[in-house]
A = this chain, B = another copy of it.
């Protein structure tokens, strides 16, 4: 490229699209000042969440940069969805080992395409030199008192998940094997698609307001996240393994692997929620754009049990995704 490029120029060049600021009414001041200014609507609370992707942990150098941009935003939007919130704005902090214009072009394309799709403007950015990492903070708003929390589920509530589970874990297993064998990445394969291009269930999250009693997004794995929901709600849960919707990719692996992926695998970014007895699942399913499946129910007591088709308890490790577990 022609000459040096400053931090300011990098953000402006790759993320300062006119549309980035014009998408939402709430943006009073976008990229380019000491901070951004946003309007939160009267009668609404502000929702805020942060997520960081690190090269070598969450994605690899031969993965398409657009997928890193997409996923960094999608994982945060999933947290908004789990709160029942509307997107308001995003800020991005990029740490780069060097200025790689091809990478930046791909990354920003993936990030901004999703941002435009869901109508969330990028309102602030920061770039630094160092090992490649992407930190995104997403802001949203939700009517006062209507945010979906992890607490609130009660014994007798149905446990419902959106979409299908285990696809991202299966994709990760494919990728791990592919990298070990040294082959080229096939970004358009179904396995990579699950891992690289997760969707965030924003419209479902909105639809769950005043209906679900508790909700969480499945980022760490079904059993781990169900464990968080139960711990926060002070209840237990029973999961009916045959009811758990499996990603089609799992048809190709053993029953043992399928269980591990669907129950323990992270990064599917589907929603898990507790629906009280009086709420119609059919009515809810009619109004959203993703399949919904009852997988069990909340119970008295504590702890999560998984049962097979005969009602026998399965011995499953609660192996959620945790960057620091068992590694000290």
Contact = CB atoms under 8 A, between A and B. Distances in A.
Interface string A1-17: 10111111010000000
Contact of A99 (B89, B131, B324): B324
A53 B130 CA distance: 9
Interface stretch (A135-143, A162-170, A174-182, A304-312): A135-143
A257 interface: no
A35 interface: yes
Interface stretch (A79-87, A186-194, A287-295): A79-87
A326 interface: yes
Nearest to A81: B34
A149 interface: yes
A285 interface: no
A242 to B, nearest CB: 28
Interface string A146-162: 01011000000000000
Interface in A1-52: 1, 3-8, 10, 28-29, 32-40, 42, 45-52
A54 B324 contact: no
Interface stretch (A110-118, A119-127, A243-251): A119-127
A57 interface: yes
A328 interface: yes
A80 B128 contact: no
Contact of A47 (B8, B36, B83, B150): B36
A79 B142 CA distance: 26
A131 B56 CA distance: 10
A157 to B, nearest CB: 18
Contacts of A147: 28-29, 37
A217 interface: yes
Contacts of A28: 45, 147
Given A56-B130, A149-B29, A50 B135 contact: yes
Given A37-B83, A38-B47, A49-B91, 4 more contacts: A10-B324, A28-B45, A35-B79, A52-B93
Give 3 closest A-B pairs by Cβ, nearest first. Answer: A54-B130, A35-B49, A131-B131
